[in-house]
Each structure stands twice: as C-alpha cells, then as structure tokens.
Amino acid sequence: MTQSIPQLPELLPCPFCGSADIYAMDMGGWESFCKTCGTNGPALNTEKDKVIADWNTRAAQPMGVAGIPPGMALVPIEPTTEMLTAGSHAVDLHSHSPRGTWAAMVAAAKGE
C-alpha cells in the first residue's frame, strides 16, 4: 500500500490578492504571475527554479494592511497629541535619540 504525501504548492499564494491561481510560464524568459490580479514578476529569468524562488520569497513577505510593506507604518502628516507626548517622553528617556523618539511616536500613532 502506498501512502500519499501531501505536496506543497510550487508557487505560494499571491501576496497581493491571496489567490492560489499562480503560474510560472516561459515567455522568452520565465516569469511567475497571478491569474487573478495580474501581478507578475518580480523579474524574468532564464531559470524556472529561480523565478519560482523569487516569487515565493516575495510571497513570504506579504503586504500589510492597506498595502503597507513590512517595516513601514502609516502615520499622520501632523503628529497627534499622543504622538507628541510619546515623543517628549522618549526624548527624556533616551537622551535625545532621534531613533528612540521616532519609534515612540510611531508606536503611539499605531496605538501601541
């Protein structure tokens, strides 16, 4: 009796729309694309395996809420009272470190 082993999909779901309808095709160079939303790339390559690895690397870093990439945050142009308060406290605690002040202000904007 043979036992079937579940196979992982060759291409991970689309990081933009979540579709699993993803293909890698040779169109004068291999390229991955999402049949649902039309996203392609990230780049043409002569090697199918490289194209799949590139897509899956991109897919492993999905966009956040409202298309905000990892490591970025949506903050108001004008700081809120909470952001200014958090920034003021951070300046006091971190001896005028701009990085610490900014981190505290962004955290306040995110409601953390």
Q: For the CB of residue 70, give the shortest distance to Zn ion in the complex, in Å.
A: 18
- By CB under 5 A, is residue 14 in contact with Zn ion? yes
Q: Are strands 22-26 and 30-34 parallel, antiparallel or unpaired?
A: antiparallel
Please spell the DSSP secondary structure of 34-95, one letter per residue: ETTT--B-S--BS-HHHHHHHHHHHHTS---GGGPPTT-----SSPPHHHHHHHHHHHHHTT
Q: For the CB of residue 32, give the shortest distance to Zn ion in the complex, in Å.
A: 11
Residues 16-45 that bind Zn ion (CB under 5 A): 16-17, 19, 34, 36-37, 39
Q: How far is 11 from 14, CA to CA, in rounded Å? A: 9
Closer residue to Zn ion (CB): 29 or 38 = 38
Q: For the CB of residue 50, give the shortest distance to Zn ion in the complex, in Å.
A: 20
- Where on the chain is the footprint of Zn ion (CB under 5 A)? 14, 16-17, 19, 34, 36-37, 39
